């Protein structure tokens, strides 16, 4: 499998989310300039400090549509939401909220000597990348102002407690584990954490390979074209449906027979096959996302190259799939314009008459302004439910009925 070149890592977040996914004052430490931002420094340049001389910080986590968001202050600002992304090589900040009013549209910000603050933990970063996160926000349905990536996460033992909506950052020098979880090897390749797993696809031999631990992926399992080719998977023989990606591509969605990670076995997990051949889609060909990881307390210990999994109450319950066939984006200044990015052929969305570019203005007489993108996606995940949709196609209002159902 081919690895992602490091200079291509910046665009991976939006690509990953699409296959699945204002402050006006210039902050202290950020300077507007017309020159491109320099690459992020090595992770060793980042300094951290726990409060009160401690060695662990507990940070509340907000889960939005299986995306993990952390409230983080930038240079003593009010907290903004940062996406937890284990497979982003470099952490980054969206510069648009911090541009001064007189800044030119081409102006960029270099964040130097930046302070990132979480409860009980401060991070001092000599220089952090800047990149627009508008597309990420549109996919998540919430304003995302930054990304916490592998360069920061690799400095800690990171405990992700999905069922408690909390993350612990532990000092690896003092961390000791005493629970009943299962410890497995963690393979760090090009800065990205991987584990060994077995995947059984109906009509094919069970295969074993490395899969990324990817917290920016809200799905279950993803297999790239290179991985499918390496294991001679014939996708034409896989029973599934093509779900549209919000970036214009498509992903074959199916159910595997079994996923095995160490002693844990999960029957009929969803598996997606993005119709992308390039190495920007996946670093090593496969990924395990939050739909699977959320069934555990995940202790990601990159410094000691291990991962510890403790099953929780949701293990091994089945992972549900989309029941509408509609891909949606949130647009507009408040992310309240819900635009159809694509519709699966012969799906409930197609039967209702939805088309790419339509805007869902209301559901069951409830205006879209009262909803979030996560709300709409949750509604469209309810099985065998009929919704009355108010749709705008250009300037023309339309009334439609959408009845959800299993697509597999």
Cα torsion through 101, 107, 111, 112, rounded to 10: -110
From 40-49, 248-257, 301-310, the region with the lowest mean pLDDT: 40-49
Question: Does residue 364 sit in the same domain as residue 397?
Answer: yes
**Residue 351 in tokens:** 């039967």
Mean pLDDT computed over 28-50: 52
Q: Output the DSSP codes for 17-85.
A: HHH-----SPPTTEEEESSPPPPPPPGGG-EEEEGGG-SEEEEE-EEETTEEEEEEEETTPPPEEEEE-
Question: Does residue 50 sit in the same domain as residue 15?
Answer: yes
CATH of the domain at 86: 2.40.70
Q: With respect to residue 1, please indicate whether it lies within any of the assigned structural domains.
A: no
Question: Does residue 342 sit in the same domain as residue 273?
Answer: no
pLDDT-based confidence at residue 38 (cuts at 50, 70, 90): very low
Q: With respect to residue 128, please indicate whether it lies within any of the assigned structural domains.
A: yes
Question: Does residue 262 sit in the same domain as residue 347?
Answer: no
Q: Considering 118, 138, 170, which residue would you say is the last residue of a domain?
A: 170
Q: Is the pLDDT of residue 72 over 90?
A: yes
**In whole angstroms, how large is the CA radius of gyration of the chain?**
21
CATH of the domain at 232: 2.40.70.10
Q: With respect to residue 3, please indicate whether it lies within any of the assigned structural domains.
A: no
| Cα 40 from Cα 348, distance rounded (Å) | 45
SS3 content of the chain, % helix, strand, coil (to 5): 15, 40, 45
Strand partners, 108: 33
Based on the structure, what is the number of domains in the chain? 3
φ and ψ at residue 236, rounded to 5 degrees: -65, -20
For residue range 208-234, what is the model confidence (pLDDT) as tens digits?
999 999 999 999 999 998 999 999 999
pLDDT-based confidence at residue 100 (cuts at 50, 70, 90): low
CATH of the domain at 389: 2.30.42.10
pLDDT-based confidence at residue 32 (cuts at 50, 70, 90): very low
| Cα 19 from Cα 214, distance rounded (Å) | 13
What is the 3 state secondary structure string of 296-310?
EEEEEECCCCEEEEE
Strands 62-64 and 30-33: unpaired
Q: Is the pLDDT of residue 119 over 60?
A: yes
Mean pLDDT computed over 260-288: 81
Question: Does residue 197 sit in the same domain as residue 114?
Answer: no
Question: Does residue 20 sit in the same domain as residue 166?
Answer: yes
Question: Does residue 78 sit in the same domain as residue 125?
Answer: yes
| Domain of residue 266, residue span | 188-292
Strands 207-213 and 286-288: parallel
Q: With respect to residue 317, please indicate whether it lies within any of the assigned structural domains.
A: no
Q: With respect to residue 305, please indicate whether it lies within any of the assigned structural domains.
A: no
Please enumerate in sequence order all residues whose Cβ is within 8 A of that of 263, keeping only pairs 6 or more positions apart, or say none: 182
Q: With respect to residue 177, please indicate whether it lies within any of the assigned structural domains.
A: no
Classify 397 in phi/psi space as left (phi over 0), alpha (psi -120 to 50) or beta. beta
For residue range 367-403, what is the model confidence (pLDDT) as tens digits?
999 999 999 999 999 999 999 999 999 999 999 999 9
Q: Considering 241, 272, 292, which residue would you say is the last residue of a domain?
A: 292
Q: With respect to residue 151, please indicate whether it lies within any of the assigned structural domains.
A: yes
Question: Does residue 104 sit in the same domain as residue 53?
Answer: yes
The predicted structure's pLDDT at residue 285: 80
Q: With respect to residue 217, please indicate whether it lies within any of the assigned structural domains.
A: yes
Q: Considering 118, 136, 170, which residue would you say is the last residue of a domain?
A: 170
Question: Does residue 146 sit in the same domain as residue 227?
Answer: no
The predicted structure's pLDDT at residue 338: 98
Question: Does residue 48 sit in the same domain as residue 145?
Answer: yes
For residue range 229-267, what is the model confidence (pLDDT) as tens digits?
999 999 999 999 999 988 788 999 999 999 999 999 999
Question: Does residue 198 sit in the same domain as residue 164?
Answer: no
Question: Does residue 147 sit in the same domain as residue 194?
Answer: no
For residue 145, give the nearest of 128, 155, 131 by alpha carbon.
131
């Amino acid at each position: 499998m081919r690895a992602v070149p490091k200079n291509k890592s910046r665009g991976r977040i939006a690509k990953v989310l699409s296959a699945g996914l204002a402050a006006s004052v210039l902050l202290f430490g950020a300077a507007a300039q017309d020159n491109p931002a320099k690459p992020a420094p090595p992770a060793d340049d980042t300094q951290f400090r726990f409060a009160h001389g401690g060695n662990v910080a507990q940070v509340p986590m907000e889960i939005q549509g299986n995306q993990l968001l952390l409230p983080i202050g930038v240079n003593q600002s009010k907290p903004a939401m940062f996406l937890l992304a284990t497979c982003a090589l470099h952490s980054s900040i969206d510069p648009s909220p911090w541009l001064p009013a007189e800044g030119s549209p081409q102006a960029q910000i270099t964040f130097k000597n930046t302070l990132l603050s979480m409860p009980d933990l401060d991070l001092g970063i000599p220089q952090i990348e800047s990149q627009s996160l508008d597309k990420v926000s549109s996919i998540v349905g919430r304003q995302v102002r930054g990304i916490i990536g592998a360069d920061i996460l690799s400095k800690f033992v990171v405990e992700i407690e999905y069922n408690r909506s909390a993350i612990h950052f532990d000092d690896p020098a003092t961390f000791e584990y005493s629970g009943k979880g299962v410890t497995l090897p963690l393979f760090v390749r090009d800065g990205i954490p991987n584990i060994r797993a077995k995947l059984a696809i109906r009509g094919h031999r069970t295969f074993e390979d490395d899969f990324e631990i990817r917290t920016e992926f809200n799905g279950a399992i993803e297999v790239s074209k290179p991985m499918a080719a390496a294991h001679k998977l014939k996708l034409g023989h896989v029973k599934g449906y093509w779900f549209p990606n919000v970036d214009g591509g498509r992903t074959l969605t199916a159910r595997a027979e079994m996923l095995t990670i160490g002693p844990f076995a999960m029957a009929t997990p969803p598996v997606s096959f993005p119709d992308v051949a390039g190495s920007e889609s996946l670093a090593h060909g496969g990924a395990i996302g939050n739909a699977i990881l959320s069934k555990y307390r995940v202790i990601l210990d990159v410094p000691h190259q291990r991962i510890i999994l403790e099953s929780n109450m949701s293990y091994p319950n089945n992972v549900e799939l989309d029941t509408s066939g509609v891909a949606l984006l949130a647009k507009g200044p408040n992310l309240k314009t819900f635009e159809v990015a694509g519709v699966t052929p012969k799906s409930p969305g197609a039967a209702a008459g939805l088309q790419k570019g339509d805007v869902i203005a209301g559901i069951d007489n409830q205006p879209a302004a009262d909803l979030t993108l996560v709300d709409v996606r949750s509604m469209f995940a309810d099985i065998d439910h009929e919704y009355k949709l108010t749709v705008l196609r250009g300037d023309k209002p339309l009334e439609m009925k959408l009845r959800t159902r299993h697509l597999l």
